[in-house]
Structure formats: C-alpha cells, structure tokens
Amino acid sequence: MDMDYKSRKEAFVSGLSGGNIIEVGNVLLIPLTAILFWTTIHTRFSSFSRYRPVSVTVEFLLTVGIPLCALTVWYPYVPALNIGLVLCSALLLLCLKPFMGGGHAFTPPSNKRAGRRHQYLFISHHRGALMMLVCLAILAVDFQVFPRSLAKTENWGISVMDFFAGSFVFSSGFISHKSTRNRARRSFYLTIFGLLRLGALNLFNYQQHTSEYGVHWNLFFTIPALTAIVGIFDCMTAVIPLPDEALAIATMVASEICLRTTSLQENILSLERGTSLISLNQEGLFSTLGYAAIYLIGRAVGSHVFMLLSFQKRPNLVLSELATQAFLWVGCFVLASTDVAGFGWQIPVSRRLANVSYVFWVAAVNSTWLFLYYLIDWVHITTGQWSDKQHVRSDQQHAMKFARSDIISAFNEGGLAVFIIANIITGVVNLTVNTLDMSGSSAMTLLTGYAIFLITVTLHLQSSERKLRV
C-alpha cells in the first residue's frame, strides 16, 4: 500500500470521539426491529412460508439490507425507521392471524443439526445479528458513507464499532456452558489467525490503528488471553466460592483503582511508547482484564437464563429473568458513568482501557438485546392461534419453525469462519480499491455485493454443517 494513502487511511479512523448514547442505541436497535418485522410477515403471509427466491430476497432486504443502510446512507433516519418497523409489526400482529398451514411449512436448506440449532431462537438471533453487523461494519467503516460517529473512538466515548469487540466476548461467555471442552482448540485457532493477521499487516504495509490494541496485539490475541485469566479465576473460586457477577465487579473496581491511583492510565493513553513488547502493546494487554470481566458477566447471565430455559412450560420466567438482568446492568452502567444523587462515579466510557463504564455498557446493551430478542419470540408464541397454556412447549417449537430469520441464524452457525472470511475480504478490498475517494453510490453498490457474497458463503457453511465458534 502506498505510504501517502496508508497515512490517509490511518488518519480517517483516528482521533474520533464517537456519538451520543441515544444515536448509537438507535443503530443497535435496527437488527431487532428488522427481525421483528420479518418474523411477523413470515408468520402472517403464506407466500413467505416456503423457502423460495422471493422469500429469501425479502428476508435479505429486511434483515441485512436495512441494517446496512442504517450504518451508512440512512443513518440520519434511523429513529424513524425503528418506529416505522415496530408500528408496522404491531399492526400486522393485531390485525392478522398467523398462517400455520401444515402443508406449507417453511423448509430451510437441509441440515442434520436443524433441530438443535433453533432450540433457543433468541440466542441464535442475538449472536447472528451481532455477527452480521460486525461483518458489514468492518468493511463499511473504510468508506465515506459510514458516519465517523459510529467508528471506533480514540480514547473516550461510545460508538457502534466499540460495541462489537466487547459483545463478542459477552456472547462467548453467555454460551460458555456449552463449550468448556472446546476452549483450548478455539484459543489455538484464534492465536494462529492473530499471528497470520499480524504477518499480513507487515507484509502488505496495511494501515494500522495502533491505539486500538497496540502495535502487535489484536482481538484474536485478546480472547485466548482472557480465557487464560478466566481459567485462573475459576481455580480461585473453586477454593473460595464467588458468583461470576461479584468477581467481575470486584475485578473492575480493582482495575479502576489501579488506573486512578497510578500513572497507568496516563501511560496507556500517551502517544509515546517504549521499545519493550509490553509498552508497545499496553492497550491490548491491560484491556484484557476488562474483557475478562465482560466474559464473566456474560457467563453469569447465561447460567441464570439456561437454568430457567429447562422449564419449557414457563417462558414467562425466562422473560422476567432477562428483564432483571437488563435492569441490573443498565443500573450498573448508569452508576459508573453518571452522578446519580451524588452516588455515581462519572467515569467516561473507554474502549481503549476497557474500563468499568465500558464493561457495564457492553453488559447493559447485550442483556437488553437478549431480553428484546426473547420478547420477540414470546410475542409470536403468545399471539399465535395455537397458544394454549397446557401445550406451551409444543406450541413454542411450532412457532419457532416460522418466527425466525434463517439468514441471521446462518450467521450464528457460521461463527468464527464467517468472521475470518469477512476480515479477508475486507483486507483484499482495502488493498485493491480506493475506498476513501469512492462515491456514495459506488460504495453502496460494492457493500451490497459484499453482503450478498458473504450471505451466500454463510448459507453454504450452514448447509454443509461447517462452523467454528467465537
């Protein structure tokens, strides 16, 4: 890459301060409202009940096309878009009965794991929507059509891009009860790809945002490192039992005290770096502690929810628990980042430090996301003509065959494999295309083509039963 162009690229993503919490929150609501609208028309109109081109096209436009536009050209209209999708969904839910004809059942591409895959649909939608947004944003951020207020912040602030890294970790912690035996293998894959990414950056003289994680460090090193830290915590709690929530909060309080009482925060945020590996990668190394706390919170939320999910006939219990978790972590975020009646800490959010406000913000948004995704499922279950208090379990399984997005579920199934493919495509595009000087229409054409290609690959991975979880 040409040095002048590389400098322009680095300047394009540097020195940013993000947007306000309402703007960012509206963008993060778009996948939810889009999935709500898609699942509503999917259950209300028989023309969408078969896996046919028109159904796939409409699903793509709603669940991927709308979020892509919300991240780019429709950004100023996101609040109105959310309201419109919710109102249209509510109108259809109130006026039309669900179409559940037995002879017209929706049949996605064959997959032997299909029964297990959609057992907990709200989790599939949560993880899949997160992966879809990440894959769209990592390429879109390099174009002028992507608002700078959504790009990663330099030191302080809130943005959509800042949300993604912590959310990957939260999501991994949430389902960690399923993957304990695979931690070592997953960490190995991530470390290898992290090393390959580091080598490729130097080989192709690719642009780097060193204030993100450091000179050599990246997210693919953070996840194995936090896994090791969590393993140490688990050994400690085996001797002295301590809930994951308490351990996460204690970890962040200790981290914040360390930042405030020493020169550590000043050193990390300084433009000057030493020559040692620790000094060169101080952001990535220190922030791992915050990401470990996010993982613990995700695991804590997951342990509560999965315990209640075993009671299939009591979906209201799960809804109540998710609402409680959302309220708890929103409260922690408000306490950490504001001054409520003189009791708040007033600590600004910093993704670079992964400080206490960042940790609680990620936990608050993800727990709220989970609550809202489950609420969508709950609405479809309770508004269906098949609803019967004595047959909740079978009715829930029946409803979930229709009230789902197969594209979003495929992103969840693709896991790390999809993320790696998206990273490779992003690198190729940045090396071959002048993204900074491309017109808005050309950029949207390229991004749409990228989204279609990525979805095609994702659906293929799903049908071939290949996956690699984050």
| pLDDT tens-place string over residues 45-75 | 766 655 677 888 899 999 999 999 999 999 9
Query: Which residues 6+ apart lie within 8 Å of 283 measured at CB?
Result: 211, 212, 213, 214, 217, 268, 352, 353
Alpha carbon distance 179, 189 (integer Å): 15
Alpha carbon distance 344, 448 (integer Å): 44
The pLDDT of residue 320 is above 90: yes
Q: Are 161 and 152 in contact (CB under 8 A)?
A: yes
CB atoms within 10 A of CB 385: 10
CB atoms within 10 A of CB 389: 7
- The dihedral through the CA atoms of 383, 386, 388, 393 has a sign that is negative
- The label of the residue with tokens 């490729």 reads 200
- The label of the residue with tokens 């948004």 reads 365
Q: Are 383 and 373 in contact (CB under 8 A)?
A: no
The pLDDT of residue 36 is above 60: yes
pLDDT band, residue 189 (cuts 50/70/90): confident
Q: What mean pLDDT, rounded, does the chain reach?
A: 86
CB atoms within 10 A of CB 257: 10
pLDDT band, residue 118 (cuts 50/70/90): very low
Residue 408's nearest CA partner among 128, 51, 106, 32 is 128
pLDDT band, residue 468 (cuts 50/70/90): low
110, exposed or middle or buried, with CB in 10 Å at 0-12, 13-18, 19+?
A: exposed
The pLDDT of residue 467 is above 60: no
Residue 391 has a pLDDT of: 46
The pLDDT of residue 389 is above 50: no
Residue 220's nearest CA partner among 197, 189, 190, 182 is 190
Report the range of poorest mean pLDDT among 180-189, 375-384, 430-439. 180-189
The one-letter code for the residue type at 317 is: L
Residue 249 has a pLDDT of: 93
The pLDDT of residue 130 is above 70: yes
Q: 444 vs 141, 143, 198, 440, CA distance in Å?
A: 12, 9, 29, 6
Instruction: Report the C-alpha dihedral over residues 244, 297, 330, 165, rounded to 10 degrees.
Output: 160
Q: Are 39 and 405 in contact (CB under 8 A)?
A: yes
- State pTM to two decimals: 0.91
pLDDT band, residue 339 (cuts 50/70/90): confident
- The label of the residue with tokens 């962040």 reads 252
Residue 113 has a pLDDT of: 45
Burial profile 443-462: b = 16 or more Cβ within 10 angstroms, e = fewer: bbebbeebbeebbebbbebb
The pLDDT of residue 115 is above 80: no
Alpha carbon distance 244, 51 (integer Å): 42
Q: Quick check: helix, strand or coil at residue 468?
A: strand
Residue 120 has a pLDDT of: 83
Residue 176 has a pLDDT of: 83
Residue 116 has a pLDDT of: 43
pLDDT band, residue 182 (cuts 50/70/90): low
Average pLDDT over residues 443-467: 87
The β-bridge partners of 468 are 415
Query: Which residues 6+ apart lie within 8 Å of 240 measured at CB?
Result: none
pLDDT digits (tens, 9 = 90+) for 229-270: 999 999 998 898 899 999 999 999 999 999 988 989 998 998
Q: Are 155 and 352 in contact (CB under 8 A)?
A: yes
